[in-house]
Amino acid sequence: MTHSGKTVIVIGGGLAGLATATLLSDRGFQVTLIEQKHRLGGRTFSFQDRTTSDVVDNGQHILMGCYHYTLRWLKFLGQAQPTQTGRLIHIPFAAPHKKLSSLIIPVLPMPMHLLVGILRFKNLSFWERLLLIKAGLKLPFQHIPETISVDDWLKDLGQNENLKTYFWNPVCLAVMNESLQNASAKLFATALKHMFLVKGDYSRIIIPKTGLSELFVIPSEVLIRQNGGIVLLDREVDKIQLANDQITGITLNNKNLLQADVYVSAVPQSGFFNIIDKDIRDKHFQAMAVLRTSPIISIYVWLTGIQTDQLFHGSFIGCIHTKIQWIFKKSDSLLEITISGAVDMINRQREEIFELIVGELEILFADFKGSMVRHFLVIKERNATFSQPPDSGYHRPSCRTPIKNFYIAGDWTDTGLPATIEGAVKSAYTAVDHVCAEYLR
């Protein structure tokens, strides 16, 4: 690596910030990474449970074969390919008092893999399966307005309520962290096309076999420091100094002044306005003020007297007609349960959430009893993703800003993707390309 002599300050140590910092340090920039928390990783990290000493993530994150930028970055970090299911998609489903079949998409040339998988999906009637195939055949050729919801789009496609319940709603919650009524149809359709209609192996599911910090955070910090970069934790940006539409420095909460050639904000949209003065915000960034966030709740359940394999086969299962959307096996005695789009649950007490989950597990699995739980942990991520309703695309900022040496990265920027790890990492590559084009000429 050759040092360029250029300096950059990256604000925010989540995945967008880590990817931006590692990639720019590799391009020869002297990097300073600033994070307000005592740890890196943002909304994607792992930690040790105090009671069991098990390492758990702050929430289950699934990667896919279509995560081009994420897999490219992991390779750059020297990380081995995470555990994956292969090219076959096999998603079992469960519902209270009802036996459901799995969605199995076989290894066949595109689009035959989808046609065969849908035709075998017996949670739907044969007529409903044909309606689903018809919608899929229309997808590549549709121009979807920015202003309609997924629910309205599905009505236009003739998708009935049973199709929404047993197929579309689980997929929408997983992809968008939003209900059908609240999610942008344009963004959702873009994600579906990318996952299922580009390459056959893009739809494969990849489940990390290590903690998220071990996978992303630790190797990123090591690389930044190895390349001579600086990582500052427990540091907040107090003020950004601006002159002639250019940043001249930033003041931290400890009153230190830091200066660089380039500045990249990689904080989530919920924190962006905390680092931008009102006059700068009103002049340049007012359009993004309408963006909101959507929560996710994760519940870890440690079992005794029963093994997780006795509840269901496979590494995870989707749930219908329950508050639970997904259940993942983390070990022989540990389950991780996900509640996406948890707007109506996020303000409940943790004990209340746990009791609700235990009740649903008892209904879903005949062999499960609440007395088998020896420990539980409820994790609330109030700002897990940015909210992605219709019209949200109009308000997502581009990477380049009217401030000459200031760039924005983050899954909430105008990546064309939903709020995913892939969106965060893609935004970093976009920011790095712009910075290098401008400062390494």
CATH number at residue 319: 3.90.660.20
Rounded to 10°, the helix 169-176/185-196 angle is: 90
What is the reported pLDDT for 364? Answer: 95
CATH number at residue 403: 3.50.50.60
What is the reported pLDDT for 177? Answer: 95
d(CA 152, CA 185): 8
Q: Does residue 70 lie within any of the structural domains? A: no
277 plus 396 within the same structural domain: yes
What is the reported pLDDT for 379? Answer: 97
Q: Does residue 108 lie within any of the structural domains? A: yes
340 plus 366 within the same structural domain: yes
- Residues near 233 by Cβ (< 8 Å), separated by ≥ 6? 13, 35, 37, 38, 39, 40
- Of the candidates 176, 203, 230, which is a domain's last residue? 203
342 plus 418 within the same structural domain: no
Q: Does residue 28 lie within any of the structural domains? A: yes
Q: Does residue 66 lie within any of the structural domains? A: no
Write out the DSSP string of 31-77: EEEE-SSSSSBTTS-EEE-TTT--EEESS---EETT-HHHHHHHHHT
The residue behind tokens 């909430």 is: 412
Count Cβ atoms within 10 A of the Cβ of residue 267 and give its class: 0-12 exposed, 13-18 middle, 19 or more buried: buried
Count Cβ atoms within 10 A of the Cβ of residue 61 and give its class: 0-12 exposed, 13-18 middle, 19 or more buried: middle
Residue 302's pLDDT band (cuts 50, 70, 90)? very high
pLDDT at 87 over 60: no
What is the reported pLDDT for 4? Answer: 64
Domain count, the chain: 3
Q: Does residue 69 lie within any of the structural domains? A: no
- Of the candidates 431, 401, 332, 421, the residue with the CA atom closest to the CA atom of residue 68: 421
Q: Does residue 99 lie within any of the structural domains? A: yes
What is the reported pLDDT for 152? Answer: 97
268 plus 351 within the same structural domain: no
244 plus 106 within the same structural domain: no
Q: Which long-range contacts (CB under 8 A, 24 or more apart) does 369-372 make?
A: 371/305, 372/303, 372/304, 372/305, 372/306
279 plus 408 within the same structural domain: yes
Q: What percent of the chain has pLDDT over 70?
A: 97
Question: Taking the CA atoms of the chain, what radius of gyration do you get in angstroms?
Answer: 22
Q: Which helix (H) or strand (E) holds 408?
A: strand 406-408
Question: Which amino acid is it at 194?
Answer: H
What is the reported pLDDT for 373? Answer: 97
269 plus 404 within the same structural domain: yes
What is the reported pLDDT for 85? Answer: 53
Contact 77, 223 (CB under 8 A): yes
pTM score, whole prediction = 0.94
CATH number at residue 100: 1.10.405
Q: Does residue 80 lie within any of the structural domains? A: no
196 plus 312 within the same structural domain: no
What is the reported pLDDT for 245? Answer: 87
Q: The tokens of 123 are what?
A: 């949670």
300 plus 411 within the same structural domain: no
Count how many Cα atoms sit within 13 Å of the Cα of residue 119 in the half-sphere of its side chain: 7
* Average pLDDT of the segment spanning 312-318: 90
Q: Which helix (H) or strand (E) holds 350?
A: helix 350-364
Give me the residues paired with residue 30 across strands. 7
CB atoms inside a 10 Å sphere around CB 26? 15
Segments forming the whole domain that contains residue 34: 7-50+210-291+390-439
Contact 341, 293 (CB under 8 A): no
Give me the residues paired with residue 293 across strands. 386
- Residues near 286 by Cβ (< 8 Å), separated by ≥ 6? none
Question: Which amino acid is it at 222?
Answer: V
Q: Using CA of residue 174, residue 180, residue 181, residue 186, what is the dihedral sign?
A: positive
353 plus 339 within the same structural domain: yes
**Order of strands across the sheet that contains 7-11:** 230-232, 30-34, 7-11, 262-265, 406-408
Contact 353, 297 (CB under 8 A): yes
Residue 1's pLDDT band (cuts 50, 70, 90)? low
